[in-house]
């Protein structure tokens, strides 16, 4: 392979893109250097040196974020695996979530039915209250009429 001395911005960008993709996919940087070397027409060693001496520093935060996301995903997987082992279940996380959503949907349906019954009961109680209020007004009118002598008692 012919030795190339200068790295272009496009070369640097391609190197970064390939290495970051490999890191994100959980592959080694060495495999990334091998993959990008042929595309750039450079040796694996040249790609590794360029990455480690120049490019990696520019993407330090990105690498940390990628690794943290991988660790979080691994932790979620491990937690799920432990739950499966403890419960003796072989269900997947998606199945568990689906079951939980179904439970919530059933609970919502029950609560909606209960709300409907309570509304009907409140409407019925309101009608009773209004009838009782009207009855109380009628008694008050009759009492006032009797007290004023409009209604005579039969003696």
> What's the gap between Cα 122 and its chain centre?
37
Q: Poorest-confidence range of 59-68, 74-83, 120-129?
A: 74-83
In angstroms, the CA 9 to CA 55 distance is 11
Can you tell me whether residue 21 is helix, strand or coil? helix
Mean of pLDDT values over 82-100: 62
**pLDDT, greater one: 133 or 91:** 133
Residue 36, CA distances (Å) to 10, 18, 48, 67 in order: 12, 7, 10, 21
Confidence of residue 155 (pLDDT cuts 50, 70, 90): very low
Q: Is the pLDDT of residue 14 over 80?
A: yes
Q: What is the 3-state secondary structure (H, E, C) of 80-122?
A: HHHHHHHHCCCCCHHHHHHHHHHHHHHHHHHHHHHHHHHHHHH
Based on its alpha-carbon atoms, the radius of gyration of the chain, rounded to whole angstroms, reads: 39
Q: What's the CA gap between 105 and 103, in Å, rounded?
A: 5
CB of 43 closer than 8 Å to CB of 53:
no
For residues 109 and 98, what is the distance between their CA atoms, to the nearest angstrom? 17
């Amino acid at each position: 392979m012919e030795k190339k001395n200068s790295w272009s911005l496009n070369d640097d960008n391609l190197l970064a893109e390939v290495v970051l993709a490999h890191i994100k996919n959980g592959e080694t940087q060495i495999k990334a250097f091998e993959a990008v070397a042929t595309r750039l027409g450079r040796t694996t060693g040249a790609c590794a040196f360029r990455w480690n001496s120049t490019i990696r520093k520019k993407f330090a935060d990105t690498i940390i974020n990628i690794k943290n996301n991988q660790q979080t995903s691994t932790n979620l997987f491990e937690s799920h695996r432990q739950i499966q082992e403890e419960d003796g279940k072989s269900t997947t996380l998606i199945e568990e979530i689906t079951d939980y959503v179904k439970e919530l949907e059933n609970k919502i349906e029950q609560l909606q039915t209960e709300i409907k019954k309570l509304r009907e009961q409140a409407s019925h109680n309101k009608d009773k209250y209004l009838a009782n209020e009207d009855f109380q007004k009628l008694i008050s009118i009759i009492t006032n009429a009797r007290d004023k002598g409009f209604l005579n008692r039969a003696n």
